[in-house]
Structure 1
């Protein structure tokens, strides 16, 4: 796959902001946040190329000294299409306040674009940066026809940039960039629905990995191709993201790796991530889990959904590519580095089906939720879709559709996910009936039954059979 794929909604959003600048002859700022490798820089570069307006694109460098960042900014400005005479831009500036005055002085009277990428790194280098940016925006830049795009991969810091107690509050619109969705993956790869969903799980919807996917290549063929190259994006993208956000092999890193390895409960994570002294104490683990979920957004929490309060909450790695890397690909990469390419692929092939069966569940739930909100499910009251389990995890109900969560007023359907190359049959249906019988407020004959299956059904019936085409249609609609 090559070229720019998807992001039509995001491009349209930026076009609207640019039109606002053109019509008002005043500045507009947009803060764009998204995890590493999700394609923020590529999106903005594509936007600048399509807009055809003068622009400057500055990307900060992590760990650089403030003087180095200032010099780099002025160099980019001097060489940008904003400037007709490079001599008017000095090589050095004493502060960011000076640099922004220089920027304002070279802005044309017609619309232009200014991009500052990895803005949180500038805030790390200079504690006053946020305040200086606010002053420059209020007094200089907002009065000019400029679209200011502020990008950052540190989600927490980017949220703080426009928080109510920060200098830039109320001055920028917020745009959160997520991974490419399954429909965009299908369009990019040319795959059918089932394989496109596999491709989404493998790549995590990250353009940096998707660009190396040959058009029409089956998922296992792609995995075999990448296994021969230990530096392939399939390995290097999650590896670099892990090292960038968690460079030290400390407790936080061990907790993340424990979850990636399959530990889902608080107790199991504590035991696996602990050291020689034993499991991590709850007082230490809970803040780490909060940071990984609330600040870093690298973990997601699933809570049992029913009409009664339930425990325990379960943790998972939010990005399916990083999840695959921690569970399987890292071991395969080590084999590939030793020249054992076939062994690397056999390892992936051996573990793939089992891993996929669990990893697809959040995607199935999200697709059902999207379909419910668009009014295409038989239960118009459904607004949230989750799963349910008791403290013993016996049983686990994969799908629960309700009017709210995690404590619902009403449950409208329950169901099972079987994402294998064999159909859902009467034995699976018998197991489902036994499981849902323990779901609080499940009413036989009244509560709907939903089957999500990769390979159809055999000798059984349900109120709704959800197949790969249905999953993909939820995003297309």
Structure 2
């Protein structure tokens, strides 16, 4: 099995709850949600292996009937380390209440773990499942020394599981699981910081792709070898995500593809996602954008950060691997399927620099935000980090640090991200100063400056006017 990397905080969180089970001799439930391929199942399996306690791991099957799911559940129970006498576990149950009763009989008197993976699929099969789970927990499981882990990739349904108007409200801790962070990607790939950030953009921090990344292999070498296989994980994982969540070529799919293709504003998305009859009407587009942002969490929204309300908001694909697939990798995959891996790689090479320059910005903003919270910036009161632009996108500033957002009371610094092969120089500094003067809340001589550069700064340039100068190592260190 591939070495397990990262997830230190998540493993510690699960271990602390198992310790609570041991100390109180009563049950604890945890709902773990995260997008597909983010590593939920691998995390929980690793935890079960390390915990060295009896456990049951049951994974639901999408589209299965209730009868089929119960049969599989009871089979997995018989095969699990919970059971001392497999012959005592029946092969079928009338419903989930009966299934939970059978489970409760097999729970030992010492701490154990029960895992339900892809829980939303069980709710799809049986509208009464959530209620049955709540009843079983309250009457059969919560008084036993068991850690119940509920996993799901449908973020909206997992959040609804513990919502105030649902049966399981107040009964489970929530543990959101995101992709591996850039420091964890660096550890997984063995790459230096500048190359590890490239790897993070390509993989989106998804363990399913990182497992196929040979140690210390630079990004372009990895992509070159992936182009020889159209079913490679860097292609197949975002493709399967797209097909699973957006199977029909409807408005939602077209909106997502417009954003993935580089359209960032409401108006340009409406135009690109429209048809021969014209742009998508605002009354149709706005609810779609809201659903993709709040329910699906597949897109993110950035607003200008300053002391005055700003427009327009900008949309982007939240997962950088899916973002890269829509912008570059899908075209490369089509060429690879036609037996032209050389052309596929040239397509990636041609589009990669401009993609990387834009896609790295939210990663760096997150890094600067973490550093601010950790007190590692010259400005100790920074609690919001973003960018700023006006309606004309002239100028457009990469970094703004403020007291809060999106409307701040004070702007502490403005900054520039230069993620190119050339260093930050005097010309870039002049452009930064000119653009900063237009930011609402900028105070000459008071507001500071920050530079994040892939290639450092020009040695001959006097950088005394810049209070913070970062490179790729500083970005990675923010997550360590």
TM value normalised by structure 1: 0.99
Kindly provide the CA deviation profile for residues 432-470 of structure 1, in whole angstroms up to 9, marking residues without a partner as x.
122112111212221111111000111242221111011
| Mapped partners of 1:33, 1:429: distance in 2 | 43
Partner of 1:66: 66
Of 445, 453, 472, 2:476 maps to 472
Q: Where does 1:66-465 land on structure 2 (aligned, <5 Å)?
A: 66-458=66-458, 459-461=461-463, 462-465=466-469
Q: Is the contact between residue 56 and residue 77 of structure 1 (CA under 8 Å) also seen in structure 2? A: yes
More off after superposition, 48-57 vs 405-414: 48-57
**CA distance in structure 1 between the aligned counterparts of 2:219 and 2:445, rounded to whole angstroms:** 39
Structure 1 alignment gaps of length 5 or more: none
Runs of 4+ aligned structure 1 residues displaced above 3 Å come to none
What is the CA–CA distance in structure 2 between the aligned matches of 1:250 and 1:278, rounded to whole Å? 15
1:474 to partner: Cα distance: 0.7
8 Å contact 1:306–1:407 — kept in the other structure? yes
Check whether the contact 1:425–1:460 (CA below 8 A) recurs between aligned residues: no
- Residues matched between the structures, number: 476
Name whichever of 343-352 and 83-92 sits farther off. Answer: 83-92
| Distance in 2 (alpha carbons) for counterparts of 1:38 and 1:364 | 21
Aligned residues: CA RMSD:
0.9
Q: Distance in 2 between matches of 1:109 and 1:415?
A: 59
Distance in 2 (CA, whole Å) between partners of 1:350 and 1:427 is 26
SS of the counterpart of 1:286?
helix
Q: Structure 1 residue 88: deviation in Å? A: 1.1
* 2:40 is the counterpart of 1:40: yes
Per-residue CA distance 1:406-451 (angstroms, 9 max, x = gap):
0000000001111001101122122212211211121222111111
Distance in structure 2 (CA, Å) of the matches to 1:243 and 1:93:
34
SS at match of 2:429: helix
**Separation in 2 of the partners of 1:457 and 1:143?**
62
d(CA) in 2 for partners of 1:456, 1:146: 53
Query: Is 1:26–2:26 an aligned residue pair?
Result: yes
SS at match of 2:201: helix
Which SS does the other structure have where 2:422 is aligned? coil
8 A Cα contact 1:429 1:460, kept in partner: no
Q: Find the aligned partners of 2:418 and 2:195 in 1 and give their Cα distance.
A: 15
- For 2:174 and 2:249, how far apart are their aligned partners in 1? 33
